[in-house]
Structures are given as C-alpha cells and as structure tokens.
Amino acid sequence: MKSIVLSSVAVALLVFSGCSSKEPVVEAQTEEVATPATQEVQAVETETVASEDSMVNSASNELSMADIESKLPTIYFAFDKYDISPEMQAKIDAAAELGKATAGDYKVKLEGNCDEWGSDEYNFALGLKRADAVKKALVNDGIDAARISMVSYGESNPVCTEKTKECWAKNRRVDFKLLP
C-alpha cells in the first residue's frame, strides 16, 4: 500500500511539472541611437557674473555648514558614565556660543557612542543617556531644545578599533552634526 501511494505521488509530480518544450520568445526591438555625427552641435554661451551678484562671496563672514561643524568639539566620557566633566562642560559652553553666533539656522544632531564593553542594548541606552546629558547642557546654555535631536549608535560607530584603553576612551563620546 505504501509503495502504491509513493509511486502515485511520483507519477503525479512528473505529470504536473513536466518540461516545457517551448522556447521563450524574445521580440527584437530596434531603436535609433543618435551618434555624434548625426547630432547638431550648438555654440556654448558664456556669461560673466559680477562679484556683487554672486552667491559665493569670498568677503562674506558667513561660514558654511561644514566649516561650522568642523569647529564643534567632541565630548568624551569616562568608562560606563554619562555625567559631564568640567573640562567637557567648557567645550559644550563653547559649542553653545558657536551655535548661537553662527549656526542659528541649523539644527543639531547629537550622536551618542560607546566603547565595545557591555551588551548592545546597554550600549545603545548609554549612548542615548550621553547624548541627553549634552542636550541638557546645551539647553542650559540657551540653545532651543527643538533644534536638538539625538541618536545613539552604541558601539557600532567606533573611531578607533585597537584593543587599548586609549582607543576605547576615544569611542566613549558624543559627536555634533549639523542639519539644515
């Protein structure tokens, strides 16, 4: 009985699956492609822009977003901590002044980072606590909280990958990024 069922299943599979004897039909399509010999060449017009009409003025005191971002510090933290040291508070105060003076039109994203010690979940939470501590310090310095967003990368965004204490210390940080 068992062999009859197995042979019936095998025959049914062969009948229903079968092999297609038809070749797929591919329709040939032709397009005309313009070659350089058939294209018309138009004369290039040049225009001179006066320096006072130019959007990029070298005498301007305005800094670009990349220039401002390069002046923003990185805030470092002790192992397994999210409190801000007095040295780092001074850097946050300087960043707040820069934010009020030249980056008033931009939003700030705080990126919390950790070293490789601890679980992924713990490090994501710690990175967020570090970013939140910097946000609170910036708000205390007069930066509008609505301009600040936070993200935690945990241990997934290291700047150093060596297995040394100095390297791990570089990864315990909050970075500033400007957003339009």
pLDDT digits (tens, 9 = 90+) for 150-168: 999 999 999 999 999 999 9
152 burial class (0-12, 13-18, 19+ CB within 10 angstroms)? buried
Predicted TM-score (pTM) above 0.85: no
What is the Rg, in whole angstroms, of the alpha carbon atoms belonging to the chain? 31
What amino acid is encoded at 31 in this protein? E
Q: How many whole angstroms from its chain centre is CA 82?
A: 23
d(C-alpha 77, C-alpha 79), whole Å? 7
The DSSP result for 17-68, as a single string, is H----PPPP----------TTTSPPPPPP-----TTT-S--TT--PPPHHHH
Say what the pLDDT of residue 55 is: 40
CATH number of 74-179: 3.30.1330.60
Distances (CA, A) of 63 to 59, 60, 174: 11, 8, 23
pLDDT of 68 over the 60 cut:
yes
